[in-house]
Structure 1
């Protein structure tokens, strides 16, 4: 038995030493994958000896210095998951020319976006091509501030999403966006007016804490523009922060000055 196990282990090592594997995972986007396929170092044939798509061996002609993997042969729909396995000889380097061919794209369209009576941001999408996170942002303090993320379904839809938001007094503008591998950003936005009471700071000269009139999202910067505190709550612990002047973003307020004594 020991001899058989040793023989099996030797055989396994021998098999793996003669093969290298490239694995690509993504979603079908209607595009072929192109491979640069050099000659084998031993002078016999080319590097790649097998290509599998979702576990099935392709019928593509791979005995060439360059070839394409035709994904249309597998009856895939846009957005379907794809796994491509490229097996090649050891010490041989095939190159995938366009690995982004199966990466998710930010192509969604919003058919409806609104905020309901319970302060839930709801949106409905179509034409998604692969699962990408939706980033929910609110425009305040002269910039877009990230509130959270929702995982996209990645198919043609329609797909419905929701995210709990917090409203400031007056005008509130939110957007949902995606960014894909190419850096392409797609977004849509909605504006809502709230009658919520304006948040205020109790004192502009503090010892240990900044206190707000109610819970709010906040940022605190020092005189050099460095962020020293951020979060959500009704107070900010300043006990470990040096004395001096600070600038506070909160609610709809931007750059309000407080002094730590």
Structure 2
């Protein structure tokens, strides 16, 4: 009798295991480790009152059993950078686990410039794999130095993004570039792009009655003190200098400097 019960116990155990295996399914995710952890979405099965995932394996090694939360961070910090990653997830066959951030194990996550060009109205650049926390800085060469003229936030994502910003060219040759600053502080520069603008040359006069600098048309300008520090900048047809103390200044626009003195 005892022997019979033992055999029945074994058979029942095998049936339970076989039934669990039949209800399980494997899903694989493959890629490369680029220094960031993967987050796994773990759906809750309402009808069974339990979570989807039964176990998670990383490169053949079991990491966890039945994580009891809707999102699980899979730490990969012990892996060498750029090493191959195989994630195996055993789960119930009525649900499907997903990677919340699958892009972090894509073959190539490195930011790259695809194209940059300039027309009479704007500068346009196309990139791929930018970080949404990154930032672009648009610069123009002026007197042998790079002057920042604008900036904008990156859009983010592993796909192609296009950006553009309006420009106010100087008459003649204009050389531009765009800098990409990633969240870690690394700076990547685009190729330089030269654009020749044949627009009419802008000039100015200083109205000493109103103490205003009047331009012949709207222009981007900078006002500097005698020490070369920028004290005012703008884009307009005039620059109000009534509140400035009597001293020597420089008005800069279209890549040129024009010294003047505000006298009593």
Pick the aligned partner of 1:184 from 183, 186, 193.
186
**Do residues 218 (structure 1) and 230 (structure 2) align?**
no
Candidates 240, 254, 259, aligned match of 1:251:
254
What is the deviation of 1:203?
A: 4.0
Partner in structure 1 of residue 103 of structure 2 = 78
Partners of 1:57 and 1:243 in 2: CA distance? 66
CA gap of 1:72–1:221, structure 2 versus 1, over 3 A, is: farther
Aligned to 1:57: 72
Whether the aligned pair in 1 keeps the contact of 2:132 and 2:153 (CA below 8 Å) is no
- Superposed CA RMSD: 3.4
Task: Assess if the C-alpha contact under 8 Å between 2:219 and 2:237 holds in 1.
Answer: yes
In structure 2, what is the equivalent of residue 194 of structure 1? 197
Other-structure match for 1:152: 154
Change in Cα spacing, 1:205 to 1:173, as seen in structure 2 (3 Å) is farther
What is the distance in 1 between the residues matched to 2:186 and 2:169?
Answer: 29
**TM, length-normalised to structure 1:** 0.58
Scaled by the length of structure 2, what TM-score is found?
A: 0.58
| Structure having greater relative contact order (Cα 8 Å, sep ≥ 6) | 1
Could you tell me how far 1:59 is from its partner in structure 2? 6.6
SS in 2 for 1:30: coil
CA distance in 1, matches of 2:122, 2:221: 21
Gaps of 5+ in 2: 1-31, 38-66, 88-97
Q: 1:59 to 1:232 in 2, by over 3 A?
A: closer
Task: Note the C-alpha offset of 1:146.
Answer: 2.5
What CA distance in whole angstroms lies between the structure 1 residues aligned with 2:112 and 2:166? Answer: 21
Query: SS in structure 1 opposite 2:103?
Result: coil
Tell me what 1:30 maps to: 34
Aligned in 2, Cα 1:59/1:245: closer, same or farther, shift over 3 Å? closer
The change in CA–CA distance for 1:58 and 1:257 in structure 2 (over 3 A counts) is closer
Shift of 1:194: 0.3
Residues 137-170 of structure 1 show CA distances to partners (whole Å, capped at 9, x for unaligned) of: 2222543233323332323322222211111100
Taking structure 1 as reference, are residues 58 and 232 closer, same or farther at Cα in structure 2, changes over 3 Å only?
A: closer
Distance 2:246 2:74 in 1: 72
In terms of fraction of residues, the more strand-rich structure is 2
- Rg: which structure is higher? 2
The alpha-carbon distance between structure 1 residues 127 and 210, as it changes in their structure 2 partners (threshold 3 A), is: same
Aligned match of 1:23: none
More displaced 10-residue stretch of structure 1: 199-208 or 222-231: 199-208
Q: Tell me the residue number matched to 1:161.
A: 163
Distance 2:166 2:114 in 1: 19
